[in-house]
Homo-oligomer: A and B are copies of this chain.
């Protein structure tokens, strides 16, 4: 059974060592989505000619920046796969990670994987909103990651967004329970660029109706600034709706 509602595909064209090459990917998955990696399948094809070890390394980098940053319900897959196949048809010679153009290949691969991963979150079971939780100025990446996943998986945060309730208190509460040491008065939160929390308190600049209109958007960028260091991490997710319950309570 699949609960995907749309096709997830992405293709890019770029130049490698003076040669036009292509990279295309398709993916499926919409529930039980959480690193490592997700109940998902990804197939990525390229006609570039890349050394197998360098190809594997590039894929691992790209997956860490994409499929490993998606969560729908916090439940992790029991099986998942991303395959990257390079047939070398367009190569003038094998390229490895030492080649000056290798970063161009990596960037193209990152783009394809990122777009597929975002589509998986966008198509999360029952999703009505696509949410990017971006945590910055954390002490280190591990702490940024912990906060981002805790917020992205909080049922209270996710149901608030489904209800289009500008409930910044639930975001603060999730940050607070994430397990890292925070200084509440240093925290600033914006959603789609609009301030919600300033120095740990609800903003005085906006009315509740103004905040409500912000969270009515179908795409939400939650920026959580911890004010502690230089590290950041982001997670893509979706809201938590009646349909999520419906899909998963009537599975069989």
Binding site for B on A (CB under 8 A): 31-32, 34, 73-76, 78, 153-156, 159-160, 162-163, 165, 167, 169-170, 173-174, 176-177, 240-242, 244-246, 248-252
Each complex incorporates copies of this chain amounting to 2
Known contacts A32-B173, A242-B242; A249/B75 CB under 8 A: no
- A244 and B75 contacting across the interface, CB-CB below 8 Å: no
- Interchain nearest-CB distance for A127 vs B (Å): 13
Separation of A187 and B225 alpha carbons in the complex (Å): 43
Say how far A133's CB is from chain B's closest CB, in angstroms: 15
Q: Is the CB of A160 within 8 A of B245?
A: no
Residue contact B160 to A251, C-beta cutoff 8 Å: yes
Chain B residues contacting A173 (CB-CB under 8 Å) are: 32, 75-76, 78
Could you say which residues of chain B place their CB within 8 Å of the CB of A169? 78
Docked-complex contact B73 and A155, CB < 8 angstroms: yes
Contact B165 A249 (CB under 8 A): yes
Query: Is B74 a contact partner of A248 (Cβ separation < 8 A)?
Result: no
Residues of B close to A32: CB separation below 8 A: 156, 173
Residues of B with C-beta under 8 A to A250: 163, 165
Measured between beta carbons, the chain B residues less than 8 angstroms from A249 are 159-160, 162-163, 165, 240-241
